[in-house]
Every structure is written in C-alpha cells, then in structure tokens.
Amino acid sequence: MENKPIQLSGRLDGSQRNKLKGLFDMFYSPRELAEELGINKDQFYMVYIPLGCPHERDTRNHILINGLDFSSWYCVVYKKIKLREDADSGEIAHRFRSYPHSQERGNAG
C-alpha cells in the first residue's frame, strides 16, 4: 500500500462540498467560483492552482476554471480518508489513546 501525504489545506466543509454538485459546465473566474462555493478567492491562487487544478488562461491571461472539471478534480484530490482495520482484532486502528474521561467512572463518595 502506498503512503501518499494527506492534503489538508483547501478542504471544503460539508455545505461547500454540496455546492460543488451545483456547478455548471461553464468557465468561472476564481472570484465567481469562490462566491458560488462560499470561500475566499485567494484559496484558488494559493492552494488549488499550485496543486494542479484544471484551468485555462484567456487572451488577457485571466484564469478561467470549468465548474465540472473543478468539481471532479476536487473529488479526486480530496477524496474521503478511510481508516484501516487492524488485522489481528478486526477493530479500526487509530492513533489516539483512550483518555480517563472516556472510561466508566466509579462513585467518588
């Protein structure tokens, strides 16, 4: 199994991910796309385009992003992270310890 680094910067929350489904097959400027999704336009310039977001430039060198292409690209780059099961016990492996407050507490008095 290949260990790829997890891309955390640029992740959208649930309502923003739902808005991806409503994008049309047309070209948006980063400002227009940011308004549609409810994010800052700088996120396109600082995160998405350096990561390889599909885009084109017009004759004036303005960035244009196709809505459907961006939506499918986002789903590939930021796909859901699945936890692996521990082969011995069949439990889901995680990195966190169990904390004392998660155990059953006895009566203090």
Residue 10 has a pLDDT of 87
Residue 102 has a pLDDT of 46
pLDDT of 29 over the 70 cut: yes
pTM for this model (two decimals): 0.70
Domain 14-79 belongs to what architecture? Orthogonal Bundle (1.10)
pLDDT of 23 over the 80 cut: yes
CA distance 84 to 94: 8
DSSP helix/strand/coil, 56? strand
Percent of the chain with pLDDT over 90: 61
pLDDT tens digits, residue range 35-84? 999 999 999 999 999 999 999 999 999 999 999 999 999 999 988 877 66
